[in-house]
Structure 1
Amino acid sequence: MKLTESAQQYHEKMFPGYKSTFLDTDPEFIERFDNFAFDEVVNQGKLDERTRMMAILSVLLGCQGIEEFKAILPAALNFGVTPVEVKEIVYQSAAYLGIGRVFPFFHAVNEILTARGIKLPLEGQATTTMESRLEAGIQAQVDIFGESMRDFWKSGPEVSRHINHWLAANCFGDYYTRKGLDYKQREMITFCFLLAQGGCESQLTSHAAANMRLGNEKPFLIEVISQCLPFIGYPRSLNALRCVNEATAKSE
């Protein structure tokens, strides 16, 4: 087995002093995966390490990669992702993945943070109350998607209008209004949740457009997809690329 010097250095930076048992049991696979993921991929483009790690944590939530999430989280913390940012990623994922899929990740994060001597709960990040969340959520939708979202919360057939209300008050009013991450970061992680779980191409195209509207432009989104590809595979990465291209075409 031959790992490149770059792959070895990056792996050591992620996991100082750690030797994977797969080096003994699956050396041929590790040679190709590590050289690809930790040399070829990480040296493609100019995405900073914190952003890369936030994107990877988000796609691992999206694809339900709990064991890899547990492995990557300490590396993300080593690369400067803060405990608050980790918590905000997990909290916001509940709106896009549902608590049934997110629940195990709460335990994983709490266990890893506690083991590193970080006292829980962390400082609160909420900026809204149950009374103010709807108005604030509506404004967040407008800030991110444009003025056309001003009255979206009360649109649609009466039988399902409450869901648009919840989208404004809960998804945006409860989560997007929190401190810890800004709108650009929140839209990036939403993009990652959607691309990783699959079957959400319509929403993924809309959020690709929202990312670009906020300044996360097409080359940036392609770099995010590229850095996440080893963790989610080619089909969903190619689907995401198609959605980015569709969003770009619609904006031209």
Structure 2
Amino acid sequence: MTDNEESRYTRGRRALNQLEHDDDRSVLDNVAEFCPDMARLVVEFGYGDVFARPGLSAADRQLVTIAALGALGNAPSQLRFHVGGALNVGCKPEGIVETFIHLTVYAGFPAALNAIGIARDVFAEKGVAVSPSEQRTSPRDRFDVGSVFLERVDGHGGTDVVDGLADIAPDLGRFIVEYSFGDVYSRSGLTLREREMVTVAACSALGTCVPQLGLHMQGFFNVGGTRDELVELLIQIAVYAGFPASLNALSQFRHVVLNIEH
């Protein structure tokens, strides 16, 4: 092992320890017994090269990670670990729950319900109490409230999407406004910047909603996110959804930036 490799491993172990808070055991111990190279690559690349980078806080990286894993729905053990890790780096349990409620819009209710079930188990194991939160927009105000949040987050791009459904599925357009923005985006527990960060992470990981991904990258900028933060988010996605998902999202990011500059 060269000095450089040793530095990457040491840096990665330190980053991993932020999530684990356990000096005696690691989630990678069993992996290391069976496939030590896999365990080493996880530490060196996933944590030493990526997680330890500046540009996003540890808490932001964990919200990105649980959003991606929750949306994909194919890695419950890893989602369980990262929900615990999110708590260990300062994410509030309410923010974790809100992340999964938010996923109902972009990954569907089954994925969100499965993620909520995992969060509930982790909170119980750690003795974390979460007060059930009931936040309801008045039924008569849902469309008006949703319209305000849609305009604030997505601007004309969002309203154009809704208007474009008027001739074929006007009720779907109304649902987007009333549910996605009136019921969900208006909730407390996450800032709008965090909601757009979670949205971009989920859409990037899924890889099935390219136009919406571009719209919400612009939305991330609209609510205070920066270009450097978005690049870091998409690099983080490479670890949990693979390089193709990250590269495709970065290609969409390039189009968004070019449109802004011109």
Q: How high is the TM-score relative to the length of structure 2?
A: 0.89
Partner of 1:36: 45
Residue in structure 2 matched with residue 4 of structure 1 by the alignment: 9
1:18 is aligned with what amino acid? R
User: Quick one: percent identity of the two aligned structures?
Assistant: 20
Aligned residues: 251
Equivalent AA in structure 2 for residue 184 of structure 1: R
Alignment partner of 1:62 out of 71, 90, 100: 71
Distance 1:236 1:150 in 2: 27
Cα 1:243/1:106, change in 2 over 3 Å: same
Range that drifts further, 203-212 or 232-241: 203-212
Provide the C-alpha distance between the structure 2 equivalents of 1:166 and 1:123, rounded to a whole number of angstroms: 22
CA distance in 2 between partners of 1:32 and 1:144 (Å):
38
Residue 111 (1) aligns with residue 121 (2): yes
Cα distance in structure 2, aligned partners of 1:146 and 1:73: 32
Deviation at 1:32, TM superposition (A): 1.6
Aligned partners of 1:104 and 1:150: how far apart in 2? 31
Match of 2:84 among 68, 74, 95: 74
Deviating more after overlay: 88-97 vs 128-137 = 128-137
Query: 2:18 aligned to 13, 18, 24, which one?
Result: 13
2:106 to 96, 113, 123: 96
Q: Provide closer, same or farther for how the CA distance between residues 149 and 246 of structure 1 changes in structure 2, counting only shifts above 3 A.
A: closer
Residue 12 of structure 1, CA deviation? 2.2
Per-residue displacement from partner, 1:137-194 (whole Å, max 9, x unpaired)? 1000111122575686565344401101000000111100001111111111011110
Cα deviation, 1:97-128, whole Å, max 9, x if unaligned, reads: 1112222112111111122223344344x252
Aligned runs of 1:131-142 on 2, under 5 Å? 131-142=140-151
Contact 1:154 1:165 in 2 (8 A): no
The alignment yields a C-alpha RMSD, in angstroms, of 2.0
Determine which of 225, 235, 248 is the counterpart of 1:226.
235
What secondary structure is seen at the aligned counterpart in 2 of 1:44? Answer: coil
Deviation at 1:57, TM superposition (A): 0.8
Q: Contact conserved, 1:138 with 1:153, CA < 8 A, in 2? A: no
* Corresponding position of 2:244: 235
SS in 2 for 1:71: helix
Q: Distance in 1 between matches of 2:208 and 2:195?
A: 20
Aligned match for 2:97, one of 81, 87, 99: 87
- Tell me the alpha carbon deviations over residues 52-85 of structure 1, each in whole angstroms, 9 at most, x when there is no partner: 1111111111222322101111111000000000
Runs ≥4 in structure 1, deviation > 6 angstroms? none
Find the residue that maps to 1:4 and give its secondary structure.
helix
In the aligned structure 1, how far is the partner of 2:76 from the partner of 2:50? 22
Match of 2:201 among 165, 184, 192: 192
* Amino acid in the other structure paired with 2:89: F
Match of 1:177 among 175, 186, 190: 186
Q: Secondary structure at the match of 1:85?
A: helix
Contact 1:96 1:193 in 2 (8 A): yes
Q: For structure 1, which runs of at least 5 residues remain unmatched after alignment? A: none
Name stretches of at least 5 consecutive residues in structure 2 with no aligned partner: none
Q: Does 1:247 align with 2:256?
A: yes
Write the distance in 1 (CA, Å) between the matches of 2:109 and 2:16. 32
TM-score (norm 1): 0.92
